[in-house]
Amino acid sequence: MKVPPEIISFLKEEDKFFIATHINPEADALGSSIALSMALESLGKETVVYDRDTVPEFCRFLPGYERFIHSTSNLQPSSFNLVLLDCNTPERAGIDGIPFKYSAVIDHHETETDFGNVKWVEPDAAATGMMIFYILQELGIKMTKEIAINLYSAIAIDTGTFRYSNTTAEVMRVAAELVEAGAKPAFVSNSLYETWSEGRFHLLLSALHTLEIKDNVAFTFVTQEMFKKTGTNAEDTENFPGFPRRMKDIKVSAFFREIGENHWKVSLRSKGEINVAEIASRFDGGGHRNAAGFRIKGSLESAKETLLNQIRQLR
């Protein structure tokens, strides 16, 4: 993986950076942002780190997560250079219309757009954290323990701790270097996966009980009612879409989360060659080949049927 020289020049020549990532952030978005902020500040630059949404509970183990601000009201964006991480449109970060000096995009999602004065979009990168790792190397940044934990977490979440097909020998070598620099795999995994509340555990059970299988597609869902009953919220459904994939015969897992009356957020997970990013894009969603999402209106039954028809067409 080769960092485009214009990305390095941009980061070297400019002095003030507004690092922003996508709404509903997870550990790749957050860890990459914090790591880049720490690195640029070690070079004497000024940075702010922005996410429209708050840092979810299960990511508050990332050293430096307090850096995130959630409003631009106290600063003058036009004096900052935007660095958009792990997404490639201002809309995905909830900052459309805000004028910045220059804009850079660093992302590994497939759905590329025109936005950005300089950009590095690398769908083959397992995580944006991998791209930041190489940028830091090019910039000659000393790998601190704090940066290592952030980048290790970014890579761990986006490879499912080295389970997905994006896990290459290179990914494992970078992970080894980050462990050497102080990231503790068990600490990161425990923090990411083993900090559930009891309510969340019961929510998972309820969700799995809604399992319905049609044409090798597994459907599960959670409703607002189920959240209320277990004292949980949307953030607690992280990882739920992947569960039905454990079954040998399941090719696609579709997880429906009720976000309003007859309104659903659908998360897709697939195995092997089935490209769910393509399916999601037909509903104006996006993502990666094996993990993508979109929103859909209508009754649960009709939404399921519409999706199933799209999946059938793909085959």
Question: Can you give the binding site for a second copy, defined by CB under 8 A?
Answer: 160-165, 167-170, 172-173, 175-177, 179-180, 184-186, 189-190, 193-198, 200-201, 205, 208-209, 211, 213, 244-249, 271
- Nearest-approach distance from CB 291 to a second copy, in angstroms: 13
Measured from the CB atom, the residue of 14 and 146 that comes closer to a second copy is 146
Q: What is the side-by-side order of every strand in the sheet holding 291-297?
A: 212-214, 217-222, 252-260, 263-270, 291-297, 286-287
Burial (CB count <10 Å: 0-12, 13-18, 19+), residue 216: middle
Of the chain, the end-to-end C-alpha distance in Å amounts to 32
CB of 154 closer than 8 Å to CB of 133: no
- Nearest-approach distance from CB 290 to a second copy, in angstroms: 9
- Nearest-approach distance from CB 34 to a second copy, in angstroms: 22
- Nearest-approach distance from CB 261 to a second copy, in angstroms: 29
Task: Please state, as a whole number, how many other Cβ atoms lie within 10 Å of the Cβ of residue 253.
Answer: 26
Helix (H) or strand (E) holding 314: helix 300-314
Task: Please state, as a whole number, how many other Cβ atoms lie within 10 Å of the Cβ of residue 299.
Answer: 10
- Nearest-approach distance from CB 283 to a second copy, in angstroms: 25
- Nearest-approach distance from CB 251 to a second copy, in angstroms: 11
Measured from the CB atom, the residue of 90 and 244 that comes closer to a second copy is 244
**CA angle (115, 117, 123) in 5-degree steps:** 60
- Nearest-approach distance from CB 216 to a second copy, in angstroms: 11
Who's near 197: CB < 8 A, 6+ residues apart?
231, 232, 236
Is 19 strand, coil or helix?
strand
Measured from the CB atom, the residue of 247 and 314 that comes closer to a second copy is 247
- Nearest-approach distance from CB 160 to a second copy, in angstroms: 8
d(CA 107, CA 171): 16
Measured from the CB atom, the residue of 67 and 251 that comes closer to a second copy is 251
Task: Say if strands 252-260 and 263-270 run parallel, antiparallel, or are unpaired.
Answer: antiparallel
Measured from the CB atom, the residue of 229 and 263 that comes closer to a second copy is 229
Measured from the CB atom, the residue of 22 and 251 that comes closer to a second copy is 251
CB of 276 closer than 8 Å to CB of 268: yes
Burial (CB count <10 Å: 0-12, 13-18, 19+), residue 211: middle
Measured from the CB atom, the residue of 210 and 306 that comes closer to a second copy is 210
Measured from the CB atom, the residue of 17 and 240 that comes closer to a second copy is 240
